[in-house]
Chains A and B, each alone.
Chain A
């Protein structure tokens, strides 16, 4: 479980902020208004944001600034949204898109 840095020797105290409630894969979480989805989930101890579309292996944030797309999730029905740079909003429904079928690869295993 990770935690928030409430006091910082150089940056000072974390400003009081509004709490928002959102869901990830159907479970309810709280976040600070304005922070990215990935930060809110990490603060709640959630590291796995998706499973690879083909292999199903777990993935979490990697670059955290929008370059790598490893944190892509589905937000209110829109796929491919980067959790690292999308601020959480009250009532937001976040879920992972899940593993996709790979018929060509599966066919090749036995035929190619």
Chain B
């Protein structure tokens, strides 16, 4: 296995080659890199690969220390549809 074939995002199986090519072609931020490749958009919500995706994007862009590079959105854990919207009076 070469570096290019190495998986970076384990959930969506996005490779190092795909990410570095995309970053080079578009000079993009982490967020754009994520949207273009699906890296960080899988089951774990990017908890595992976010620092790696960030590192690739930061080669082309400057870090803004006040902005979380890959935004978090609810739910931060996968939820079964059946479990959403249930109101319990605890």
Touching in the complex, A and B, CB below 8 A? yes
Binding site for B on A (CB under 8 A): 52, 54-55, 57, 59, 62-63, 67-70, 72, 78, 80
Among B20-28, B40-48, B61-69, which stretch is in contact with chain A? B40-48
With A55-B13, A69-B11, A69-B43 already in contact, the answer to whether A80 and B48 are too (CB < 8 A) is no
Q: Is chain B's binding surface mostly helix, strand, loop or mixed?
A: loop
3 nearest A-B pairs in the assembled complex, by CB-CB distance = A69-B43, A69-B44, A68-B48
Residues of B within 8 A of A (CB): 10-11, 13, 43-44, 47-48, 78, 80
Q: Tally inter-chain residue pairs, CB-CB below 8 A.
A: 27
Q: Given A52, A57, A59, A67, which contacts B48 in the complex, CB threshold below 8 Å?
A: A67
Closest to A57 in B: B13
